[in-house]
Structure 1
């Protein structure tokens, strides 16, 4: 059973339950900053879930410009050590302790998902559709945001906790060199994940009635 089968239900009879499961996953997806290295599902299952998300998340003009790199084990730890050293260059030494502690919380996790957008795809569409030239970079970001959310929610369903981080463009060059990332892949976000080590705590909500309007 794939990720979307699990979310939406594999049969018509399961449809109502599937909808409830999806909304529950949406509700329970939170930012987890206390994560552990303990493996929750097999690497094969993790690969299946992320590949499924990349394949089926929508994109403008079906451009499929999203690119993903998953770092586990030493690769995951090296990413956050690398980030720490890059930040050390720009954060005053006297203020670095909280930054180092935060980065360690990411490194303590099981892995990291790196989200990229392939600029060659976007530039090709800009050449093909001159009228929408200025919109393709915007739509690219929107599509990446959808993919990040799908992966985040999928990880929640599998039992992992995750958060979304943005240390780009500070780390772009080092990431590109270390993992042989094509020059045209633009790093958008980093998602460290692992077994939840602590509850994320309560979340405050503004009145939804002020945020949603229905006209019928």
Structure 2
């Protein structure tokens, strides 16, 4: 199916609003030995957590938050290693398990705020765009569909295109797309906002704001 694509703008952000829920804050406050977190005013929870975190050494706090968000997938040794690496490197951009990068970003930025910059400041991008079919009906698009359709508007220097050239240009499955695209929001399946790491897509990556793309049916091998 043919699509007309318009990339409207890319916003650079330091945190994704609404990612951390009140329940998250209460659970984490408990892990940082903050008393009566459940009875605190909800609007004060983020600030209380920052205060509670700052009473710990940075790598100790990182271990606690990492264990909360990734403890089911990482062992203690891996968490300890990441907690030290986070103080010097942008782990959320470099970690080889791409499906974990979003959570590593959110953990990093929580710690960045709590320690007033002791952790590297990483950034995310919110890409606002429209994808309008020109020869068929509007259909629901997946992360995989969207990245393939954006391909023609992105520079050859773009990291996704460099690492996943075949998946971006051929009608083969692209399962990693679900890890690259942190959020994909739309109310009408035409106008979208996509949240990802600035490392994956940023303003310098866009070489065309209006272009056409073809979405082919994925060939699945028997």
Structure with higher helix content:
1
Structure 1 and Structure 2 fold alike (TM over 0.5): no
How does the TM-score come out when normalised to structure 2? 0.30
